[in-house]
Structure 1
Amino acid sequence: MEKGNAIYIMTNARKTVLYTGVTNNLSRRVYEHKSGLNSTSFTFKYNLKKLVYFESFHTIDEAILREKQIKGGSRKKKVDLINSINPEWKDLWEEIEKW
C-alpha cells in the first residue's frame, strides 16, 4: 500500500452521510477530519469522523481520477464499494494511523 496519495470515504455514526475525498497524506487528512480542525468544512458540519473506505495510488492524478469516478456514482454504488472491503463499516483509522 502506498503511503501518500489516496481517496477515502468518511461517514457519521449513523451512516447517513458519505463524503469522498482525495489527499496526498491520508493519515494527516483523516486526523484533521476526526479532530474537527476545519470547523467550516462539510465533514465537520455533518460530524463525519469514521473512515470506512480508502484506496491508495502512485500519483495524485490517479487518485483524483478515481475520486471523480466515485463521486459521479450513486449512493448505492458507494455503499456497495464500502461493503466490498468493509462490510461491518468499522472505522479504518487504526489501519492507517501508523502510516
Structure 2
Amino acid sequence: MDDALLQDLWFHHADGVVLDTITINGPRVTIHAATITVRADCPSCGTSSTRIHSRYVRRVGDTAVSRRRVVIALRARRFRCPEQSCPQAPPSSSRCRG
C-alpha cells in the first residue's frame, strides 16, 4: 500500500494529521502519526496561538487488523495561550522578557 492510501484509510477524518511510519512487531501493528497544525485556539478564551509549549505522544488502541492489535501513536503539540488575562496562560513572571 502506498502512503496516500494508508493516510486516507487511517486518518481520513483527521485534518492536520500525517502518517509517519507503520511498524509491525509480531502480533502488533503500530501506526506512527503526527499533528501538523501550526496554530490552535485556546480552549479557555479562544485566542489563537502559534507558540508551541510542548509535545507529547498519545497512544490509542484500535480494533484488530488481520488478527493483529493496532496501536496509533500520535505525536501532538500543546500550544501556549498568549493572552495574559487567560487562566490557561502561564504567570507573567515565567514569561520570557527580551
The two structures have a TM-score, normalised by structure 2, of: 0.22
TM-score (norm 1): 0.22
Larger relative strand fraction = 2
| More RCO (CA 8 Å, sep 6+) | 1
Higher normalized helix content (fraction of residues): 1
